[in-house]
Amino acid sequence: MEKKMLNIKIEGISYQVPSGLTIMEAAKLCGYDIPHLCTFENGLCSRGSCRVCLVEVTGARGLIASCVYPINEGIDIHINSPKALSARRTSVELLLSNHNKNCQQCLKNGKCELLLAAQQTGARDGMYIGQKSEDTIDEVGPGIVRDTSKCVLCGRCVETCKALQGIGILGFQKRGFKTIVGPADNRAFKDSPCMQCGQCTLVCPTGALMEKDDISKVDEAIKLGKKVIVQTAPAIRATIAEEFGEKIGSNNGNTGKMVAALHRLGFYRVFDTNFGADLTIMEEGTELLNRISQGGVLPQITSCSPGWINYMEYYYSDLIPNMSTCKSPHEMEGAIIKSYFAKTHNIDPKDIFVVSIMPCTAKKTECVRPQNAANDGLADVDVVLTTRELARMIKRSGINWQMLPEEQFDNDLLGQYSGAGVIFGVTGGVMEAALRTAYFKLTGKEAGFLDFKAVRGQKDIKEATLNINGKEIKVAVASGMNIAHKLLDEIREGKSPYAFIEIMGCPGGCINGGGQPYVKECFLPNEKPNIRETYRKLRAKVLYTEDERQTIRQSHNNPDIIKLYKDYLGEPCGEKSHHLLHTTYNKDRVRFPKK
């Protein structure tokens, strides 16, 4: 239904805009970007609490918070009146008066919306001096750091956790000057049922919520003379260039430049986690076929997303029998590096230090799980860095991204990968990759790639029915727990029609992981105004395009995978591969441990 058009005025100039908009939204359509902090994601969080977006409206009793006030016919708006300009500046100055301004040490430096708002409003430091709120700094967990001294109480994290994951782990606590945002009872993240997905870090306007920086651990390993081997997740190639000014979705040699940068950072080997993704398909696909043929527990649910695994252990541990026992790709690859690679290169596994570059803050929690220590108690992966951390490493080294050549991943035993491995980085990719191999295993024929495109796209729940040798196999894909729980409830109630379900913790999959570059219009002046609605699709296109470029597009046809099973593992889901590549889950994980 077409919306009614309204006549409005901004600074005395007449405009026509659709009905149903706030003043801020209408102003943006007319070419005005009103400073703001609390509002985000098309009004998902618009409390009008920060008062940074105040404007003057003719006839109103006072100044108006533009992010929540709806337009009406004939409304006369003044953004640049002396009264509005002064009020916005004062609002930011008051926020600064209670803010920890250690900007040089803050990981959000250069991407801080509070600092941007201060610049836009001309806010002056030190205008209001007095007692500051008591701080809480939570850095005891491996994934996310919370620092309330930098929190502006915007509520974005609160609403994002509720809207995307449906768990609402964060909330406002205490009152007045003592108000803070955090898990219940101001607990640490590690003592709360938090997924560690990091979606809160993507929306936080300041450094109040950030990934834990582990670059120093890599520096120390190099200093100690370890064989420091790095692997990069499929989704990193779709986003790393954004940190160096490239437009979202661009693919100007991203993969080759990333590899060249990693070589220059001094890593002993630079491997692609796509190899681990192909290995995952061989194990997970075989596990699925075994369940189907032997009457095992169905549906089988994928296990590649550690955020989803955390959620499952907290809220759906009764579904552990449905979970694939496969480790995630980077954990599998880490286990192989510290066994097969170490053996063939005559290296003591204790001298190997594996670094995974991941799009995900939850991967930081995954690598410290004791279940992921297949080689004599050694962790499969020693450190996980996010896309943002890798960018910081490259920048501090003085490497010019634009001038980097394109180089290849190292290819000694673990180098080759298929197009199926590439698409792991997007929702539906694991499912599509698995179906390519499952179809071959069941029929002896390669499927056409159009057969599985029903599981692509950003739709909430994607379904497909495959007819393989006369047998119908129903599958489903979901990302984000607020969506996925519908599929999980069906399983719990015994009503699920599916044989295989892919679940990813972050909406859109790894391309939208909590460790990926920030997508905020205020820092992306060269992007289209609707970038928040299109960025996932643009990132996904990079991966699908790379898949199409590969000469090998099925995991079972990867020659390095074939060689690995022939020379070392034996067969998928065999005794050796089960020891190295499979894991277990916590069925009694306590949501709120005793302090």
Query: Which of 32-41, 468-477, 498-507 has the highest average model confidence (pLDDT)?
Result: 498-507
pLDDT at 456: 85
pLDDT at 130: 87
pLDDT at 69: 93
Predicted confidence band of residue 103 (pLDDT cuts 50, 70, 90): very high
**pLDDT average, residue stretch 211-234:** 97
pLDDT at 89: 98
In eight-state DSSP terms, residue 376 is T
Measured on CA atoms in the order 185, 191, 193, 196, is the torsion positive or negative?
Answer: positive
Of the candidates 351, 374, 372, which has an alpha carbon nearest to the alpha carbon of residue 362? 372
Measured on CA atoms in the order 548, 551, 554, 560, is the torsion positive or negative?
Answer: negative
More confident residue, 465 or 72: 72
By mean pLDDT, which of 129-143, 420-434, 443-457, 468-482 is the weakest? 443-457
**pLDDT average, residue stretch 473-482:** 94
pLDDT greater than 80 at residue 415 = no
Largest CA distance in the chain: 81
Phi-psi region of 398 (alpha: psi -120 to 50; beta: other; left: phi over 0): left
**pLDDT average, residue stretch 330-354:** 97
Backbone angles phi, psi at 354, to 5 degrees: -95, 125
pLDDT at 517: 98
**pLDDT average, residue stretch 152-164:** 94
pLDDT greater than 90 at residue 440 = no
Backbone angles phi, psi at 492, to 5 degrees: -60, -35
More confident residue, 467 or 362: 362
Residues 6+ apart with CB under 8 A from 299: 322, 476, 491, 496, 498, 499, 500, 501
More confident residue, 364 or 463: 364
pLDDT greater than 70 at residue 184 = yes
pLDDT at 532: 92
Mean pLDDT over the full length of the chain: 93
Backbone angles phi, psi at 6, to 5 degrees: -115, 145
pLDDT greater than 70 at residue 209 = yes
Backbone angles phi, psi at 467, to 5 degrees: -105, 105
Instruction: Give the model confidence (pLDDT) of 533-546 as tens digits.
Output: 999 999 999 999 99
By mean pLDDT, which of 95-104, 414-423, 583-592 is the weakest? 414-423
Predicted confidence band of residue 500 (pLDDT cuts 50, 70, 90): very high
> Taking the CB of residue 226, how many other CB atoms lie within 10 A of it?
17
Beta bridge partners of 504: 479
Residues 6+ apart with CB under 8 A from 129: 97
pLDDT at 595: 67
Predicted confidence band of residue 451 (pLDDT cuts 50, 70, 90): low
**pLDDT average, residue stretch 351-365:** 98
299 cis-preceded (ω within 30 degrees of 0): yes
Distance of alpha carbon 480 from alpha carbon 160, whole angstroms: 11
More confident residue, 475 or 595: 475
Instruction: Give the model confidence (pLDDT) of 267-276 as tens digits.
Output: 999 999 999 9
pLDDT greater than 80 at residue 47 = no
Backbone angles phi, psi at 455, to 5 degrees: -95, 5
pLDDT greater than 80 at residue 169 = yes
Distance of alpha carbon 549 from alpha carbon 185, whole angstroms: 51
**pLDDT average, residue stretch 2-12:** 93
The structure's pTM equals 0.95
User: Helix (H) and strand (E) counts for the chain?
Assistant: 19, 18
In 409-545 the beta strands, taken as DSSP E runs, fall at 461-468, 471-479, 500-504
pLDDT at 414: 73
Give the three-class secondary structure for 219. Answer: helix
